[in-house]
Structure 1
Amino acid sequence: MSVTPALDPHQNRSAAVVVGVDGSVGSERAVRWAAAEALRRGRRLMLVHALEIDTAHDVLTDPGAVAIRAVRERGVERLVSAAAVARRVAPEAEIDTALLDGGAARALIGQSPAAHLLVLGATGTGGAACHLGATLPAVTGHAKGEVVVVRDAEFSRRDDRTGPVVVGVDADHRGGLAGYRAVAAAFAEASERGCPLVAVHAWSDLPFGELDEALDDIPPETEAAALRLLNEGLAAWREKYPEVTVEQHVYRCGARHHLLLWSKTAQLLVVGARGRGGFPGLPLGSTAHAMIQRAHCPVLIAHDH
């Protein structure tokens, strides 16, 4: 397998770390994370706030545009506040702001093709608690490139960058490894951070514990074959990134269960947008969806396009 990337707009020197801003606690956490990453990578930071207004419609219902002006002023205030937070974290970083119309999901997805990273924040343990509401699944499902969700207060208290990068690796329907972009992103991030990489693979889609009663029926060579598949699939990436120390962990089932456990000590969790058995029409696979709702560290969603 070749791991030489095609020309990638996300890797252009002009590509910024883009972060969505909405004034929430989750948003501020995302700004802090994105500012630190932009400074460390020597990239520009772009703070984006999107207005949930339809200018043409609102001009008709509000001829004086009083409400529109108020919404814009509040948006500017949020960007100014976010920029102040970013400067405290990364005083030397180049920081730009953008106030966009058309709604958060559309605006952020529109920024993604040229972004180095697109960063969102979230809070809570479920989709309803995510600070961007319906925007979060829309953006993580349909954006281009790599999207990072910074979602856990626990992580912000232990963000010492000492944990590994963890990547979930699936097998495809042909028996090879799926998720080229996820593996590529994970190795690049581990190299960038100078930390170990943990590759996690579950050879069954069944939930954790479902195989306990059937262990006697599992051929003993199955797990050995899964580990061999993982070894072979990662070999080219080990060669490209010889400085990255790699741990490999193969489990019978319960990929989500094991990834969540690893996220408690990881500094970054990487998953593909769609895993094994994912349908092209679905915006986000079940494992990726579960991780952005429940993981204990930032989650990078790597899209294959």
Structure 2
Amino acid sequence: MAHNAPIIVGVDGSPSSNEAVRWAALEASRQHAPLLLILTDLIPLGYVPGNGFYQTEIDNQAIAGRATLAEAKVLAEATVGTVDVQTEFVTGSAIQTLLDRSKDARMLVVGSRGLGAFRSSLLGSVSTALAMHAHCPVAVIRDARVSATPDAGSVVVGIDGSATSVHAIGIAFDQASKRGVELVAVHAWMDTSQFALEGADWQIAEDTEAAVFSESLAGWHDQYPDVGVRRVLVKDRPVRQLLEESATAQLLVVGSHGRGGFAGMLLGSTSRSLLHTAECPIIVARVPM
């Protein structure tokens, strides 16, 4: 990743998008990174080059899109006046555009659902696709709590010993350090439906998981001596425990898939479920491809 790699925000003018812009502006300030706001619009169905009607439609889309971007830039600068904000209007697919740009981005930031999402939808198609396929970490921002109390609460990270979990730990320590808050490291290692198996030696299992937990956190304190860590090691469903710990957190960080996933897996069941249910902003740590 280049030193001046931007934080990129997918913009569409929705309330969720506006919260993403505010959150990303604060993050860009913490990271001393440029902020790039991108809005995309599809070519009208049936477009043929040279057709005046469709060209007028494209021109109108561009005017509206640039106006929305200008409003988003004002919002970002009002949130953090010192951040370097650039805007870009692109004709094409939002998902493909943002996936392409993620190869050179520090982070992608999107609202949980945009203008095209159903009112009852918990997660939009763009945020889902980016969490599954992006080449950089993806932050998904919901409507609640971001503007009111952006710096309230701890940073929570889910740990399971997998490669993506290691990446999540690094992001979480960096976030906790820059925000000046406690890091809550959570390792929930067993589904509660399996607790009653006869003859199971839970002490051996617990000792094994405790070793995985300790190894995962080893060395991080030396890199981030300013970060206090509260460790949570429990026999519980990961989703339930992470939701409980993140209920009062300002940020949740998880790997894209855990050690139960297989090679090439795009998004694990825990991260997928948390994307749909966590109320605080969530970063899905994707290992660069």
TM-score, normalised via structure 2 length: 0.89
Contact 2:189-2:237 at 8 Å conserved across structures: no
Partners of 2:44 and 2:57 within 8 A in 1: no
Post-superposition Cα deviations, 1:193-247, rounded to whole Å, max 9, x if no partner, equal: 222111111222x2xx424545984432432332232112211222222222111
User: Counterparts in 2 of 1:1-305, with a 5 A limit?
Assistant: 9=1, 12-53=2-43, 58-60=47-49, 62-64=51-53, 65-123=55-113, 129=120, 133-159=124-150, 161-172=151-162, 179-204=165-190, 206=191, 209-211=192-194, 213-214=196-197, 217-305=200-288
Deviations 1:119-151 (CA, angstroms, capped at 9, x unpaired): 001259xx8555873111111111112111111
When residues 280 and 54 of structure 1 are mapped into structure 2, their CA distance, relative to the original with a 3 A threshold, is farther
The alpha-carbon deviation at position 261 of structure 1 amounts to 1.2
Q: Distance between the aligned counterparts of 1:42 and 1:76, measured in 2?
A: 25
Change (3 A) 1:280 1:216: closer
Tell me by how many angstroms 1:184 deviates: 1.4
CA distance in 1, matches of 2:34, 2:164: 32
Shift of 1:82: 0.7
Relative distance call for 1:215 and 1:269 in structure 2 (3 A) is farther
What is the SS of the residue equivalent to 1:58?
A: coil
Instruction: Report the CA distance shift for 1:132/1:94 in structure 2 as closer, same or farther (over 3 A).
Output: farther
2: distance between equivalents of 1:133 and 1:185?
24
- C-alpha contact 2:256 2:285 (8 A) present in aligned 1: yes
Give the fraction of aligned pairs with identical amino acids, expressed as a percent.
36
Q: Which runs of 5+ in 2 are unaligned?
A: none
Question: RMSD in angstroms over aligned alpha carbons?
Answer: 2.4
Q: Provide the C-alpha distance between the structure 1 equivalents of 2:269 and 2:276, rounded to a whole number of angstroms.
A: 11
Q: 1:66 to 1:54 in 2, by over 3 A?
A: closer
- 1:285 Cα deviation after fit: 1.2
Name stretches of at least 5 consecutive residues in structure 1 with no aligned partner.
Answer: 1-8
Q: 1:251 to 1:75 in 2, by over 3 A?
A: same
The letter for the 2-side match of 1:301 is: V
Q: Give, as a single letter, the amino acid of the residue that structure 2 aligns with 1:170.
A: D
Q: Give the residue type in structure 1 aligned to 2:172.
A: A
**How many pairs align?**
284
Q: Is the CA contact 1:211–1:252 (under 8 Å) kept in the aligned structure 2?
A: no
What SS class does the counterpart of residue 247 from structure 1 fall into?
Answer: strand
In the TM superposition, what whole-angstrom CA distance separates every residue of 1:42-64 from its partner, at most 9, and x where no partner exists?
A: 22111100112269x51359443
Secondary structure of the equivalent of 1:179? helix
> CA separation in 2, counterparts of 1:215 and 1:82?
58
Report if the CA contact (8 A) 2:138-2:283 is conserved. Answer: yes
